[in-house]
């Protein structure tokens, strides 16, 4: 994928622990267009690549804006963005990709948990621009940790946004049971945020009868995996017949690298879809957050960055 060199033209503190970065071409030329829900890969100082959703209006081509939560428990990307990337710096990014697009629906309900507001803010801007019917429920720990609060309050769609704070009185907290009580086939649900937040919204929706195809979500990171029962298995390269052993404590990607076979990766958590590989034989142990349940059931592709095998051998279309 082609990478673009962009300049950090503005860095701003949007809330406690959250910084935004406005990116533009140094020569002022237009950036590739994007649609609401898109993300970019960012090459972070230290050799890491991380995905960040675009949270500016998708009608803009002079800039991209991302927001990054400083998370000391992360694998280094967020801390590096906060501490090592400054206004005036040139960084490298990918062109936008969209795994979380808007779908045609009479009404849209958007559920944001914390930094998960970033793609949903872009969606709200787009839905407002086309005068669509939507509501954004934005859940955070406190007003101080709520990114873009003033921007949203000053926007034309401010009346369509409901803020819910963990620190506030019970009356203003999100009552999911009430909001999702009546399934509506003409309404689409969009959810983004921490894994637990997404699970709570999805489980509540499904328990109340909402159909799976109405529910759209994007994860920012995988939940911790239990590796205690992991066992070695074999992967076979279909084109050459070469066989590699994947040890209990390593990923398929790492095992292939040891044997001189490179697979392009990015998030290494089964979130972004960069490393998807076709399977010709064998049963994978899907551990990603990228595929739908229906796609996983086909067992014809998997994410070698995090997924493993239920069968003794996986034959890869490589």
CA 54 to chain centre: 11
Q: What percent of the chain has pLDDT over 70?
A: 96
CA 134 to chain centre: 21
Helices (H) and strands (E) in the chain, counts: 7, 18
Q: Which fold has domain 107-219?
A: Rossmann fold (3.40.50)
Nearest to 23 by CA among 40, 44, 8, 5: 8
**4 strand-pairing partners:** 93
For the chain, domain boundaries: 3-94, 107-219, 233-316
pLDDT digits 0-9 by tens, 132-191: 999 999 999 999 999 999 999 999 999 999 999 999 899 999 999 999 999 999 999 999
Q: Which fold has domain 233-316?
A: Ubiquitin-like (UB roll) (3.10.20)
- According to the model, what pLDDT value does residue 231 have? 93
268, pLDDT greater than 90: no
Sorted by sequence, the CB contacts under 8 Å of residue 250 that are 6+ apart come out as none
Tell me what the mean pLDDT of segment 202-219 comes to. Answer: 94
Nearest to 1 by CA among 49, 67, 46, 54: 49
Distance CA 191, CA 214 (A): 11
Alpha-carbon torsion angle 122, 123, 126, 128, nearest 10: -110
Residue 276 confidence class, pLDDT cut points 50, 70, 90 = very high
Tell me what the mean pLDDT of segment 262-270 comes to. Answer: 82
Q: What are the start-end ranges of the H helices in 163-213?
A: 176-179, 195-207
Q: What is the mean pLDDT of the chain?
A: 92
Q: How many CB atoms lie within 10 A of CB 103?
A: 11
Class of domain 3-94: mainly beta
Tell me what the mean pLDDT of segment 284-303 comes to. Answer: 89
Contact of 100 with 40, CB cutoff 8 Å: no
DSSP β-ladder status, 18-24 and 3-15: antiparallel
Q: Please classify residue 134 by burial: count the beta carbons closer than 10 Å to its beta carbon, then call 0-12 exposed, 13-18 middle and 19+ buried.
A: buried
pLDDT digits 0-9 by tens, 2-57: 689 999 999 999 999 999 999 999 888 999 999 999 999 999 988 888 889 999 99
- According to the model, what pLDDT value does residue 76 have? 67
Residue with the bigger pLDDT between 195 and 316: it is 316
Contact of 114 with 140, CB cutoff 8 Å: yes
74, pLDDT greater than 70: no
What is the total residue count of the chain? 318
């Amino acid at each position: 994928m082609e990478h673009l060199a962009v300049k950090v033209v503005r860095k701003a503190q949007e809330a406690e622990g959250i910084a935004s970065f406005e990116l533009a071409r140094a020569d002022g030329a237009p950036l590739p267009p994007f649609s609401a829900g898109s993300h970019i890969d960012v090459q972070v100082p230290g050799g890491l690549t991380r995905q960040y959703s675009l949270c500016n209006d998708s009608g803009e081509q002079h800039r991209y804006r991302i927001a990054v939560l400083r998370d000391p428990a992360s694998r280094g990307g967020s801390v590096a963005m906060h501490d090592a990337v400054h206004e005036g710096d040139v960084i490298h990014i990918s062109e936008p990709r969209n795994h979380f697009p808007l779908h045609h629906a009479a009404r849209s309900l958007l559920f944001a948990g914390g930094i998960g507001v970033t793609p949903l803010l872009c969606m709200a801007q787009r839905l407002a621009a086309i005068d669509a019917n939507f509501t954004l429920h934005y859940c955070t720990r406190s007003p101080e940790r709520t990114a873009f609060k003033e921007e949203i309050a000053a926007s034309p769609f401010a009346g369509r946004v409901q803020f819910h704070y963990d620190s506030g009185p019970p009356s203003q907290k999100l009552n999911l049971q009430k909001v999702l009580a009546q399934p509506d086939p003409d309404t689409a649900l969009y959810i983004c945020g921490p894994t637990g937040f997404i699970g709570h919204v999805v489980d509540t929706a499904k328990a109340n009868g909402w159909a799976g195809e109405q529910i759209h979500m994007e994860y920012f990171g995988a939940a911790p995996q239990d590796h205690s029962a992991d066992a070695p298995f074999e992967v076979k390269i279909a084109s050459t017949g070469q066989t590699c052993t994947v040890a209990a404590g390593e990923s398929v990607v790492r095992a292939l690298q040891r044997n001189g076979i490179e697979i392009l990766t990015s998030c290494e958590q089964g979130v972004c879809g960069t490393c998807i590989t076709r399977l010709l034989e064998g049963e994978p142990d899907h551990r990603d957050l990228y595929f739908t349940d229906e796609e996983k059931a086909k067992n014809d592709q998997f994410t070698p960055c995090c997924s493993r095998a239920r069968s003794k051998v996986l034959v890869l279309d490589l």
